[in-house]
Structures are given as C-alpha cells and as structure tokens.
Chains A and B, each alone.
Chain A
Amino acid sequence: MELLILFCTFVLLLAIGTPIAFCIGVSTFAAVLYLGLPPVIVFQRLIAGVTISSLMAIPFFIFAGDLMVRGGIAARLVALAGSLVGHLRGGLGQVNIAASTMFGGISGSAIADASAIGGLMIPQMKARGYDVDYAVNVTAVGAIIALLIPPSHNMIIYSISGGGRISIADLFTAGIIPGLLLAVALMIAAYLVARKRGYPTGVFPGFAAIGHMAIAAIPGLILIGIIFGGVRSGVFTATESSCIAIVYAALVTAFIYRSLSWEAFVEATLGAVRTTAMVLMIIGTAAAFGWLLAFLKVPTHMIQFMQSLTDNPLIIFLMINLILLFLGTFMDMSPLIIITTPIFLPVVTAFGMDPVHFGVIMILNLGIGLCTPPVGAVLFVGCAVGKISIWTAIKTICPFYAAAIAVLLLVTYIPAISLFLPNLFK
C-alpha cells in the first residue's frame, strides 16, 4: 500500500509537470506520512544525501566544462577532430563524434558535451548542406560517449549509491574501452547514413595542418592526462581532480588563450550554479526516496522476485537492461542511478556480476535514455541548438539508437570490455 502511494503520487505529480526533484521529494513525504514515520526524516535524508564530499565533483566538473566551452578549449578540440577525421564520408558527422570523445575526456557530462559540441558543429553542418536532423542525431547520441570516457560525474554518483565501496578509479578506467567502442559504432552508423544520403567528404588537410591543430589543442589534451592520471595514480581524489580542472581551465583560457573575459567567467559561474543546484536537488530528494525503498526492503523483495522468475543470469541482465531503458525514457539519469542502484546492484552481484561492470552497463543504458523522448535532456539540448522539433529528430535517429544498443549488449555480455583495463592496474 505504501508503495502504491509512493508511485501514484510520483506519477501524478510527474504528469502535471511538477519538477522532478519535487515529484520525488513529495511522493517520499506522502509515503512517510502514511507509514506514520516522523516527516522530519525525509529532510534529514535530503541533507545527508547531499552532504557528501565526493559529490563536490559534480559542481566542479560542470563548472570546469562551462569554462572550457566559453574559453575556447572545446572549439580547439573540434578543430583538431576536424583535421583528423573530416575527410571521411559524412565528414562533419565523424568530426562531431570524434570531438565528443575528446571533449568527453575533460567534461564528463553528456549535456555539457551536447551543448558544447552541438553549439559548434550543428551550425557548421547546416551550412555545409547536412540535414539538421542528422546533425542533431549525431550530436545527441555522440554525447553519450562523454558519460563513459573518464571523468564522468555519473560514475561518481553510482559509486556513492553503491555504498561508496566501488572504486571511482576503477569505474573511470572501465569506461574507456566501452566509450571508444561506442564512438566507433556511432562513426560506422554516421558513415552508413551519410553514404545513403550522399553527404560530401571533406578534404584531407595534410599532416602539417593536423600538427598545427594538435598544438593549439594541447592545453586541452593535457587536462585529460591530469584528470585521469591524477585519479588513477591516487595523487588526487576525483573531487580534487575536478577542482584542479577548474583552476587549470581558468588559467589556460585567461592567460594562454586569452579568451576568457570577466563577464564570461561570471556567466560560467552562475550557469554552473543553476545546473548543479538542479542536479543536486534531484540527487538529494532521490537519496530520501532510495532510503525509503531500502526501509521497505524493496531490494530484498526484488532479488527474491527475480530469482523466482529465472535462474539464468543472461536473462536477468537482459530484463534489468530493459527496465532501465524503459525508466530512462521518462526519467533523468542521476535520480535513476541513485534509486535503482541499491535495488539492482544486489541482484546482479547475486548473479555473479562485478559492481564495476554493472556501473558501466548502467551508465551506458541510462545514457541512451538521455536521448529518448518524452524526457531526454541531451536530445532536448541538441534539438534546441538545431532549432528542430523532437519529432523531426527522432524520425531518423534509429541507426544511432541501434549502434548504441548493440554496444550496450556487447558491454553487458562481454565483461572483459569493461574489466580488462581496470584489471591491468591491479
């Protein structure tokens, strides 16, 4: 009954357009009242859910990403990507994906990636005769790569939701191969669609130009090394590395590129406050929601229920993937990680899956959900930049979904794709 109240309140509020943070918070509140528990507990959990020092990486990475976009680091990465893969069929589509991969190495947020790369690439692609729907599709699905390539603040959320015992360094390392695999799969999809639509190929700029672009992009590329190297070697915690990323980005853009004005800095700061306050408010209320689910022993019931259905782990993993894909279509990524990790992680570990492996699956799966309507933040950003309706974009997005889901299945059923690299470091 209390679960019914919880979910009915949630769905009802969601339907009338209440912001998700409050849907989650108020439905938890309603269920707590029904159970006769002291309501103060909801707010205590809300505060406890955000007073976690490793969560600071989220505002830091978002802030750093904002600075890198406004300060021109992203633009130089796009230029480098352009000189590397621009001559392939459907050139600018390939450039878009390659740039997403590189920018993902410093930003770690799919929304930042979509707005940064999309903002630079979509107008260019339009001008060069590419259809806007193609440009938006490539941008949106390509942005998922940023979630897998370290740093990824969603992996930090996963680590916290899993009880804080899952190594962030291992999760970061585990995302690399799946991220690159996704990039390759999307490039193939982009190539096939480009060939069918007869998009032009670019001109190979020559190695001198590549060298030139690479030198301009070096400060951005160094950051990848600082963040990943620092976290992997234990020199920095993930939070500290994200803070260093801000300091580094501010110094490079203000003194080397000289492209960051005071106004741009203020705008980046206030923009980061808005984004992170929204994300972290959701994380806080989701923590209260997750606590309630644990209090009601939902995870235990879920294991028993799934074990009663089948004892074949392959089918269990498929079912969990389908459930996550379904939830991902209408919910945002971070609350889903917080709510579903405590439910599904015990199930998959009971069936022999490594928590790090499951983290990669979950991030990729929910990342796809960011590109699916009715709620898909990344797709929305892409459509907003390209100025087309969601409907126009999704009519032709299928090849890209197919590529992403193929990679999801590979990652799910071949643990080595995720675990090979972290095991090398052990």
Chain B
Amino acid sequence: MTALVLSPTVRFLNVISKLALWLAGIGLVLMTVLIAYQVFSRYVLNSSPSWTEAASTMLMTWFIFLGAAIGVREGYHLGFDVLLAIGTPRAQSIMRSLSDLVVLGFGAGMVVCGMQLVMGTWNTTLPALELPGGTSYLPLVAGGALMCLFTVERLLQRLGSVEPVLENLEG
C-alpha cells in the first residue's frame, strides 16, 4: 500500500535529484571555463576580468549544496559506520532514522536561517557581480530544501518498511 502511494513521489524525486546533479555538473564545467577564460584573458588579452572569480565562487557554493543534498539521497556522505555495521537490523533502522532526523533538522535550519540571511542582505550589493548580496545565501535555501525532501523520502520509505533502494549501496 505504502509502496504504491510512494512510487510516483519516488519517481518525481528521482527526476529532481537527477536534475540537481546535472545542474551541479554544468556548474562545475562552467566554473572551469570561467577560470580558464580568466587566465586566457590575463595573458592573451592583457586584461584581468574582475567578475570571473566571484562568479565561479558563487557557482561553487551552488554545486556544493546541491551535491550535498543529492549525497543525502544517494548516501555517499562519509560517516563512521562501524557501530552501524555490527547492529541488529532493528538497531540499524533506528540509528538510520535518527540520523535522517538530524539531517532533516539541519536542512530545515539551512532553509529557515538561509531565508533570514537572504532577506537581511538583499538590499546590499555584491561589488564584483552587481547582484543583491542575498543571492550568495540562496544555495543554502535550495540545498536545505532538497535535503529536507530527500530525508523525508527516506524516513517514509523506512516507515513503510521498504528500505530506500539506494541505502543498500552504503554497506
């Protein structure tokens, strides 16, 4: 029953996480292009663009938080899993759920505090990019929101006693 209700949601989240992963990948390639252009510009065109470094640093914060959220879903974050490995299946499930709740809390914090930071700094201006200062905190909100989505998915799947498919990869 639960599995039936969940599966469209799971499919939807599959799309979301794939999209986020691709965006992050494009961000990484774009960063490379920007910095390569910066070097090219300095030595070949004899002018150092002032915005490339700031722009690529901002791209980096986007792909860190998107990638970190995807990491929550795919379970590739590094952790200390010795106790997890020796626990009984029931203990494992409890520990994993507790961890998920902790991540959920942190993700929610990222969203709430991130929003405060965005709004508090929206009227300032980032000098190199001429964008509102608040934009530098947007990745926090987006990454946090995805983290919440993905941990809730994991928790629900465990409640329906269907282990998230990706969790098997962790062991």
The interface of chain A, by Cβ under 8 A from chain B, is: 13-23, 25-26, 29, 39-40, 42-44, 46-47, 50-53, 55-56, 59-60, 63, 236, 239-240, 243-244, 246-247, 266, 269-270, 272-274, 276-278, 280-282, 284, 330, 332, 373-375, 377
Contact = CB atoms under 8 A, between A and B. Distances in A.
A273 B117 contact: no
B64 A284 contact: yes
Given A20-B80, A47-B137, A239 B35 contact: yes
B39 A40 contact: no
Contact of A240 (B35, B65, B83): B35
Q: Which of A20, A44, A374 lies at the interface centre, i.e. has the most chain B CB atoms within 10 A of its CB?
A: A44
Contacts of A51: 57-58, 60-61, 136
Given A39-B109, A47-B61, A282 B80 contact: no
B24 A277 contact: yes
Given A43-B114, A56-B60, A16 B95 contact: yes
Given A17-B99, A280-B64, A56 B35 contact: yes
Contacts of B32: 60, 63, 243, 246-247
A277 B67 contact: yes
A156 to B, nearest CB: 14
What 3 A-B pairs come out closest when comparing CB atoms? A277-B67, A19-B77, A243-B35
Which of A20, A39, A269 is most buried by chain B, counting CB atoms within 10 A of its CB?
A269
Contacts, number: 176
B78 A377 contact: yes
Nearest to B34: A243
B136 A47 contact: yes
A20 B83 CA distance: 14
Interface in B72-109: 72, 74, 76-84, 95-96, 98-99, 102-103, 105-106, 109
Contact of B78 (A15, A42, A280, A332): A332
B157 interface: no
A53 B25 contact: no
A44 B110 CA distance: 10
8 contacts: A18-B98, A20-B79, A26-B106, A51-B136, A247-B32, A277-B64, A277-B66, A377-B78
A276 B64 contact: yes
B33 to A, nearest CB: 9
B140 A374 contact: no
Contacts of A284: 64
B67 A50 contact: no
A16 B95 CA distance: 5
A270 B25 contact: yes
Given A19-B103, A247-B32, A277 B70 contact: yes
A26 B102 contact: yes
A239 B31 CA distance: 11
Interface string B21-39: 1101101110110011011
A43 B63 contact: no
A16 B76 contact: no
B68 interface: yes
B38 A22 contact: no
A56 B64 CA distance: 11
A158 to B, nearest CB: 19
B24 to A, nearest CB: 5
Contacts of A52: 57
Contact of A18 (B53, B103, B113, B114): B103
B71 interface: yes
A19 B36 contact: no
Contact of A53 (B29, B57, B78, B137): B57
B28 A273 contact: yes
A42 B114 CA distance: 10
B112 to A, nearest CB: 9
B75 to A, nearest CB: 9
Given A15-B83, A29-B109, 12 more contacts: A16-B95, A17-B83, A42-B113, A47-B136, A51-B60, A52-B57, A53-B57, A56-B60, A63-B32, A243-B32, A274-B74, A281-B67
